Structure 1
């Protein structure tokens, strides 16, 4: 050390391995205050390489993200499920409500879409004879960017034959309890001002019951005008037109109910109209055997007993196609090849989609999805957007 106690290195000889043309940002101190180094979020995301150099905690966050993926993969592999790969470029998009990215294949002169989900291909594999398959997938949705959404994101989807959504709830409880314990050392996680407990059993509540608990009224008999009034009373904007009555109910749930669900909660039995790929409930055909897992006020997972009746599935997808033709851009188009596959027989199947980015946010106490993606999509550095390419 020097006379002032600063650690130094006595160098007798050195060899230059790489040139550094920029000084690294360092923390600066004055008598009045300490100036933190490299803390502007957008600059950190844009120059993630510098962020990783100067912030050891950021490197640790991404190591934890990898540990989460490894723990999930090990959990599935131990149960004999097969990891697979399905197309990213798809001739027909489906498996979710979302606007896709569109591209063009010159070799065959045909439009293609970046996948918004891989569900329909994974179900084809179950039809083909596999009894359990999963995939970590990069999915793409041409929609907004905010704290919880990035146009490119990661999820894992799992499909297991001869099971249903009740079984899947228990699997998800075991999966998350295992992953959280392995990654954090316990089942309690600090996320902002919340202490989340990932210990089975998780709370369960039915969709319409959750609405009634928050709104104080059963929304099922209400007409469109009454639903709009409920939205207005809570300063919630209606969904974009064109919309149907069920879309008003979904908006009430998303904006009024979901934010109140802090601890891990299974919301069960979603309406048929907003669950076109889920099997009708065995006791109430107006709802489906579907659940979403809500944690800290946001969806973490979506799962259901898969619809395996090809006639019912065709009717529901034809309805989606009609909605799309009427201007509902997020409705799913008709996938004739998937319907043909269903006609060969999909066994009773439970399916799951789990968001890797959002799970990482929870287990790393990250305030935004941009914190847990190495290189999130950002606006151009000069603040402008280039014109679209000529057709």
Structure 2
């Protein structure tokens, strides 16, 4: 078990719940991810580590989002995004076997968990929906033109990679009904992921989509403390500029990373969303006492 009360929020792009520790007169946050403490365990010599615990994100509530939910995260020394994807697939298939069938009913038809789990780059998936090729090198002017064409309102502070991600979420994500690992994201998507080994500007990270919903995330972990500091400093500047979802600069994590850690793969998966998939229900039906809006 890693701490739920934390001094610095990090490990995900999410708005935290804030509280105050009276004993130290210290502002604190409830954790938005398990990642940074589990990585510190890996730095301390643990080869494989996992945790399943409660996560708190002060965001919207709908059929697939709850401010309080259960997350499974796992990290594997000497692994990468591919080995951790194999683990993620096995977890989901084993869970399906436990409840009876690898064929599950989705909102738009049957989903076959026993078939091929496709891999596709984020830019390739977006290009399929646009009918024209988009890459990490596509100009900002072209991205803005595409955003206007498809009714996407662009925040002037968004970098090019963010615009591409928003277009992907709008156009491509709902079409990914069968199990699909979407990989090769721009750097802005995952500040804690390793730079791509062959394509500058991308990271070795994937999101798993099933039934048009993101079910998990994984990547080859960034273990270079110099690059990691630069990434988190960028996030810290974004936070200071008003981005409520940007990560804070975690000096304790960065200091630990300087001791060195083996190459590793890591994954995170919402347990509630796995239950949603297997049970064909909304997130409220997966939580014994879901948070509901009080009656007026």
Q: Distance in 2 between the 1:364 and 1:129 partners? A: 38
Report deviation, 1:268: 1.1
Name the residue aligned to 1:279.
194
- What secondary structure sits across from 2:88 in the alignment? helix
Displaced runs of 4+ in structure 1, greater than 6 A? Answer: none
CA RMSD of aligned residues (A): 1.4
* Aligned twin of 1:268: 183
Specify the alignment match of 1:125 in structure 2.
41
The one of 202, 225, 228 equivalent to 2:144 is 228
Higher Cα Rg: structure 1 or 2? Answer: 1
Q: Which runs of no fewer than 5 residues in structure 2 stay unpaired?
A: none
Checking the alignment, whether the CA contact within 8 Å between 1:135 and 1:158 is kept in structure 2 is: yes
2:73 counterpart residue number: 157
The aligned runs of 1:73-152 (5 Å cut-off) are 85-152=1-68
| Structure richer in strand, relative to its length | 2
Q: In the alignment, is the contact (CA less than 8 A) between 1:370 and 1:376 conserved in 2?
A: yes
Return the alpha-carbon distance in structure 2 between the equivalents of residues 270 and 248 of structure 1: 12
Could you tell me which runs of 5 or more consecutive residues in structure 1 were left unpaired when the two chains were aligned: 1-84, 383-391
Task: Give deviations 1:59-118, integer Å, cap 9, x for gaps.
Answer: xxxxxxxxxxxxxxxxxxxxxxxxxx0000000010000110000001001010000001
Q: State the 1:289 CA deviation.
A: 1.1
Is 2:93 the partner of 1:181?
A: no
3-state DSSP of counterpart to 1:212: helix
Partner of 2:290: 376
Q: Check whether the contact 1:324–1:331 (CA below 8 A) recurs between aligned residues.
A: yes
Aligned length: 295
2:233 corresponds to 1:349:
no
Matched, 1:316 2:210: no
CA–CA distance in structure 2, aligned partners of residues 252 and 245 of structure 1: 11
Match of 2:162 among 247, 253, 272: 247
- Spell out, residue by residue over 1:357-391, the C-alpha distance to the aligned partner (whole angstroms, 9 max, x if none): 1111111111x211211222122211xxxxxxxxx
> Conserved in 1, the CA contact under 8 Å of 2:52 and 2:73?
yes
For 1:198-209, what aligned pairs fall within 5 Å after superposition?
A: 198-199=113-114, 201-209=116-124
Give how far 1:273 is off.
Answer: 2.0
Asked if the contact 1:177/1:200 (under 8 Å) is kept, the reply is: no
3-state SS, counterpart of residue 270 of structure 1: strand
Is 1:192 equivalent to 2:94 in the alignment?
Answer: no
Q: Is 1:365–2:280 an aligned residue pair?
A: yes
| Matched position secondary structure for 1:288 | strand
Three-state SS of the structure 2 residue aligned to 1:269 is strand
Does 2:131 align with 1:216? yes
State the Cα deviation string for residues 173-221 of structure 1 (Å, max 9, x = none).
222222111212x211112342111125411111111111111223334
CA contact (8 A) 2:124 2:134 kept: no
TM-score, normalised by the number of residues in structure 2: 0.96
Contact 2:108 2:211 in 1 (8 A): no
Shift of residue 122, structure 1, vs aligned partner = 0.3
Whole-Å separation in 2 of the counterparts to 1:377 and 1:170:
33
Residue 16 of structure 1 aligns with which residue? none
SS at match of 1:315: helix
Please, what TM-score do these two structures have when normalized by structure 1? 0.73
1:293: which partner in 2? 208
